Amino acid sequence: MSTFKVAIFTGNYNHIRDGVSLTLNRLVAFLLKQNVEVLVFGPTVENPALEHAGTLIPVPSIKLPGRPEYRFSRSFPKTVRKKLKDFDPDIVHIATPDYLGLRVLKWAKKNQKPIVASYHTHFSSYLKYYRLSLLEPILWKYLKWFYRHCRQVYVPSPSMAKFLKENNIESDLRIWARGIDLDQFNPQKRDEAWREKHGFKEQDVVITFISRLVWEKNLKLYADVVNRLKKKYPQARALIVGDGPAGEGLKKMLPEAVFTGFLTGVELASAYANSDIFFFPSDTETFGNVTLEAMASGLPCVVADATGSRSLVEHGKNGYIAPVERSDKFYKFIEQLIIDETERLKMAGVSLQKAKAYSWKSINNKLLNYYNEVLEAKN
């Protein structure tokens, strides 16, 4: 017997394997185990990138201009609305404030359904990469209006909550962090045979980037800093894990780097564990799942001064934080870690300890408690 019913609306659930889709799939799998009925609505494709959890109701969508691997929901047809009505959810959870999210918001208000939302994508930080910064005031005005209608808004970190408040989002902001599978990601996966297979020598210091290869992850900054370091320190080697539309351009910038392509499972965990420094200059993250995975793998992390990263990396303790416009600082911090193995290992240990505080079970249990608060307030 189910406890209650949740309808989740998202712009990404199975057609791209990224932090958003993986987080929502974990949540759905967890809720189903707690006897919560879940129905997910969102775009899909003929050959999805992952086998999704639960039941997905496809909605019509089109490719996103400039980013064809992503989809944009273009309608909320009668057939989908009927399935939603028949499901009769107790809570409507909107994970993406797009066109579908807007239509669902209006449906939920009309049908007196409590609405909650989760903030997964730091939309405003993406605008500069597409020369659309002039739209930022309009975007914030829309988000303020949108989230005002939600009982609760789930954000991945205290720093993101602070940032949203500074931009006049006055909703009830709750922390729903991201978790880590400590059995999968851990330093025990380090193996000299793996390093040798990928062309790394014992004395090499492997500086790793793991994420989708898109320019808004600040790939150019990564390449510029690593190239400068290699001129002075031949043992500095670049490892890039992932794929995406910027992959070919990055290979031209870093012709001597090791590119593994997209990895999952044991191979992904091995890539982290066989690295020495995690360098992630992206400032578009709301949390930074890859940074947490790197920490659990026992790596010092050099990251951009971004909302998500600030909640994971303590400057000078388990890594360093620098503004994206200061490539000189990134260079200095990574240089220090290259030449000082003792500091590198000390920070690696702190990263590992910090990562142990994040377990998926406790994190998703917290969200389940938030849901129950909403239901109790309704009754």
Residues 320-376 have pLDDT tens digits of 999 999 999 999 999 999 999 999 999 999 999 999 888 888 899 999 999 999 999
Answer whether residue 130 shows pLDDT above 70.
no
Residue found under tokens 């409507």: 92
- Which of these ranges, 13-27, 191-205, 238-252, has the smallest mean pLDDT? 13-27
**Cα–Cα distance between 201 and 347 in angstroms, integer?**
22
What is the reported pLDDT for 286? 67
Domain 5-179+359-378 matches domain 187-355 at the CATH topology level: yes
Taking the CA atoms of residue 217, residue 324, residue 185 and residue 214 in that order, the dihedral angle to the nearest 10 degrees is 10
What is the reported pLDDT for 379? 62
What is the reported pLDDT for 16? 87
Which CA distances in Å does 261 have to 242, 264, 267, 289, 292?
5, 10, 11, 18, 20
Which residues fall within 8 angstroms of residue 74, CB to CB, at 6 or more apart?
60, 61, 62, 99
Answer whether residue 147 shows pLDDT above 50.
yes
In terms of C-beta density within 10 A (0-12 exposed, 13-18 middle, 19 or more buried), how is residue 17 classed?
middle
CB atoms within 10 A of CB 18: 20
Q: Which residue has the higher pLDDT, 19 or 268?
A: 268
> Which residues sit opposite 38 in a β-bridge?
6
For 121-127, the CB contacts below 8 A with 24+ separation are 121/20, 121/96, 121/286, 122/160, 122/284, 122/285, 122/286, 122/306, 122/307, 122/308, 124/167, 125/216, 125/283, 125/284, 125/306, 126/216, 126/284
115 neighbors 109 (Cβ within 8 angstroms): yes
What is the average per-residue pLDDT within 188-211?
96
pLDDT in tens, 78-103: 999 999 999 999 999 999 999 999 99
Burial readout 173-204 (b: 16 or more C-beta within 10 A, e: otherwise)? bbbbbbbbeeeebbbebbeeeebeeeebeeeb
**187-355 maps to which CATH number?**
3.40.50.2000
What is the reported pLDDT for 340? 96
Domain ranges of the chain: 5-179+359-378, 187-355
Pick the CATH number of 5-179+359-378 from 2.40.50.140, 3.40.630.30, 3.40.50.2000, 3.40.50.2300: 3.40.50.2000
What is the reported pLDDT for 68? 75
What is the reported pLDDT for 27? 96
CA 315 to chain centre: 21
- Which of these ranges, 111-120, 143-152, 194-203, 278-287, has the smallest mean pLDDT? 278-287
Q: Which helix (H) or strand (E) holds 32?
A: helix 19-33
Which phi-psi region, left, alpha or beta, contains residue 332 (left: φ > 0; alpha: ψ -120 to 50)?
Answer: alpha
In sign, the C-alpha dihedral spanning 298, 269, 208, 292 is negative
pLDDT in tens, 297-317: 999 999 999 877 888 999 999
What is the reported pLDDT for 17? 86
Which residues fall within 8 angstroms of residue 167, CB to CB, at 6 or more apart?
124, 140, 143, 144
Alpha helices in 136-218 (DSSP H): 136-148, 158-166, 192-197
Alpha helices in the chain (DSSP H): 19-33, 78-87, 99-110, 123-126, 136-148, 158-166, 192-197, 219-232, 247-253, 265-273, 289-296, 307-310, 327-339, 341-355, 360-378
Confidence of residue 134 (pLDDT cuts 50, 70, 90): low
Q: Which residue has the higher pLDDT, 129 or 19?
A: 19
pLDDT in tens, 34-72: 999 999 999 999 899 899 999 999 999 888 776 777 787
Three-class SS of residue 297?
Answer: coil
